[in-house]
Structures are given as structure tokens and as C-alpha cells.
Amino acid sequence: MNEKSVTTITLKKINKRNVYRYIYRNRLASKLQIVQDLHMGLSTVSQNLNVLEEEGLIERKGSFDSTGGRKAQAIRIVPDKKISIGLGILKQMYHIVAVDLYGETLCRKTIATPYSNTEEYYRQVAENTEAFLHSFPDSEDRVLGVAVATQGIISPDGSSVTYGAIMNNKDMKLSDFSSRLSYPCRLEHDSRAAAYLEWWNHRELDNAIVLLLNHNLGGAVITNGKVHQGVSMHSGTIEHMCIHSDGPLCYCGNRGCLETYCSANTLETAARMPASEFFTLLRGQRQPGLVSLWNDYLDHLAFAVRNLNMIIDAPVIISGYLAPYFTEEDISRLLQRINASSPFPMQREQIVLGTHGQYTPAIGAALYYVEEFIQSI
């Protein structure tokens, strides 16, 4: 093949990619918009649209309002042409989610099976995942991969868990899943996966601190649009920030970690009820004991956010299981407590609330395969 042929093939791939990504970014587009904005010839755009349509990647559906002439046909990608699967492995349960090419959740399921590092456990997870996938027509051709988010620090090569004190899952390996599933697999730290979802939803934030308020705390730091992992892959583990040196014993063996004050487990244990019941009573009856407990929670969270903001001057994203329960009143109290002892006041727009609750890590993990697919077009 001569150099001219290679150049022609490369150019065709570039044009196809640019047309697809343009439609993807804009959600809806007309042929004329693509021609004008990408500075391509009409015939080039038409050829690429035909190819993308033949491959099932786009569809022409509906039309734009007329501006005086013939209505322009509306073109969009087919968002569920491909789907990605996320697994959220927790101590007492695991979540399975399916997302489309925009990261929208198509289906989700929670299975209340405690984690154990056994053949039987991994076999059951694989079987339930395969059964979940079979609910989607043509799943063999549509599924991009299965990404596993778990509590624990992951090795730099993504092959295993290197620190797993919460679940005692240090021996968990990527091969525990990939050897049992007929799709590409990857292993991710749940906090990193959660941060990726929050960045996906807030790409205007180049830098941010993510607080994952799950049953066990987690955290991550986003710098220049990427999740910062650090030399030993544990950057952002804010759960082990020391709040009181003589405080409650943490699972890590130390005392007074933020985990012992602001995890959902700590809140539910102190309240002696699930979070859903706690917040129903808190908002409805305003029981003094529950109000005091929640204010104490917010005070400790504010202490941590204030210190983090001293180090990294960036917006804070409150994510995970407890995030959907936060109200504007809660954010106001949080900011009041932060700014009462900070020389650099934070503004309301610097506090962002995540919306995906306990499914955040699983959805975030699934997005890696979505991004990979979009980049491959």
C-alpha cells in the first residue's frame, strides 16, 4: 500500500470520527450544521453520515423547526448501540449497572451477598452478571466490557487489590472476574470510579475534591481533568484524615479518622436506623436528638473540607450514598461551619452535589469503556 493510500484511509477515519463526535457532543445535529461547523464539504459529510448510519451508530429521527425553507432532518447517535457494565463490589452486597453511550443508567440491580474471597462468590457474581446481560437483546455484540469497582487500593497495573482493610479483599484479582466473564474486564478503586463519574457530569471542573459518603468513606482528587492517584495509588483517601488523635478506633488500626465520624455506617449506627428512615424523621419530625446528630456530622465534615480546601483550592463534590439526602439547608450549615474558621471563605458554587447515590462507583467504572469506545471511533 503506497503512502497516498494510507493518507486517504487515515483522512477518512478522521472525518468519520469528527462527524460522529460532533453529533455526540451536540446530541442533535443537522447535516448543514455539521458542514458549517466542521468546515467539511457536503459530499464528505453525506458519505460519513451514510457509513455511520449503516453501522447503526447514528439515526435520522425527527426534524428541526423550519426557518423558512425545508425542515432540516435531525441526526443523533444511537445511545444504546453499545452498553457498558459496572459492578460495585461492597462488603455486604454488590451492584450491577448498565449504562449507554451518554452514561445514562439503563438498568441496575443490587444483590445482597456478602463478599468472600472464594470460588463460589466469584462464580455467583459472574453468573448473575451474565444473567443481567441477557436481558439486553444482542448483548454479545453490544456490551463493551465489565468494569469492577471495589473498596480497596488497586495495583498500578490494575491486576489486583493491594490494600483492602474494609472487605479483607487484598487477595482480590482482576482474573477473578475476567476468567469467568466473556467480556473485557477491568478493576478499579471505588473512589476513583466515583470521581470519574463526577468529572463526567461536571467537565467544566478541571480540578475538584470528591468526598464519597458511602457506608465507608472514600475520596479522590481531580487535577487537570484526571483523577490523581499518587506514587502509591492512595491519593485522596480522605477517610483516614485524623480528626481527633484520641477519637474512635478506625478499621485501619488508628484512632480519630474521618471514617469514624462521617461514614454512613457511623451515622446509621449512632441513629440506630437506616439512612432512609433517619432522614425521613429528620426532615419531617425534626426530632432534637436526630437534629443534634446530623449537625455533629456536618460539623466534622466541615472540619475536613476546610482543611482540604487549604491544600487544594478547588470545588468539593459531595458524592455517594448520602449525597442525595443533602438539602440546601445542609449546604448552608456546612459552608457556615467551614467559613467560621477559614481565612479563605468558600462560596456556594464550590459545593457540588452528586446525584447517583450508592450506585456512583459502579456507574463511574462503567464509563471507562464508554470513553474508550468514543475515542476509538
CA–CA gap between residue 238 and residue 317 (Å, rounded): 13
C-alpha cell belonging to residue 89: 463490589
Angle at 300 (CA atoms; ends 168, 273), nearest 5 degrees: 65
Domain region containing 52: 3-77
Q: Are residues 24 and 120 in the same domain?
A: no
**Residue 3: predicted pLDDT:** 54
Q: Are residues 117 and 137 in the same domain?
A: yes
The beta strand positions in 93-179, using DSSP E, are: 94-99, 105-111, 143-150, 153-154, 161-163
CB 349 within 8 A of CB 335: no
Nearest to residue 172, comparing CAs of 244, 118, 128? 118
Q: Are residues 208 and 352 in the same domain?
A: yes
Count the domains in the chain. Answer: 3
The pairing of strands 208-213 and 316-319 is parallel
Q: Are residues 157 and 293 in the same domain?
A: no
Q: Are residues 172 and 258 in the same domain?
A: no
Model confidence, pTM: 0.93
CB 95 within 8 A of CB 364: no
Each residue's pLDDT, cut to its tens digit, for the chain (377 residues) gives 555 555 878 899 999 999 999 999 999 999 999 999 999 999 999 999 999 999 999 999 888 876 666 788 999 999 999 999 999 999 999 999 999 999 999 999 999 999 999 999 999 999 999 999 999 988 889 999 999 999 999 999 999 999 999 999 998 999 999 999 999 999 999 999 999 999 999 999 999 999 999 999 999 999 999 999 888 888 889 999 999 999 999 999 999 999 999 999 999 999 999 999 999 999 998 889 999 999 999 999 999 999 999 999 999 999 999 999 999 999 999 999 999 999 999 999 999 999 999 999 999 999 999 999 999 98
Q: Are residues 190 and 229 in the same domain?
A: no
**Residue 66: predicted pLDDT:** 67
Residue 286: CB atoms within 10 A of its CB come to: 9
Q: Are residues 178 and 316 in the same domain?
A: no
C-alpha cell belonging to residue 151: 473498596
Q: Are residues 231 and 185 in the same domain?
A: no
Residue 39: exposed, middle, or buried by beta-carbon count in 10 A (0-12, 13-18, 19+)? exposed
**Residue 198: predicted pLDDT:** 97
- CA terminus-to-terminus distance, the chain: 23
Q: What is the largest CA-CA distance in the chain?
A: 79
Q: Are residues 207 and 181 in the same domain?
A: no
Cell 472487605 -> residue: 167
Domain's final residue, options 43, 77, 111: 77
Q: Which residues pair with 149 in a beta bridge?
A: 88, 188
Domain's final residue, options 77, 98, 114: 77
**Residue 344: predicted pLDDT:** 93
**Residue 180: predicted pLDDT:** 97
CATH number of the domain where residue 41 is located:
1.10.10.10
CATH number of the domain where residue 353 is located:
3.30.420.40
**Residue 55: predicted pLDDT:** 96
Domain's final residue, options 52, 77, 102: 77
Q: Are residues 182 and 262 in the same domain?
A: no
Q: Are residues 50 and 90 in the same domain?
A: no
Q: Are residues 51 and 89 in the same domain?
A: no
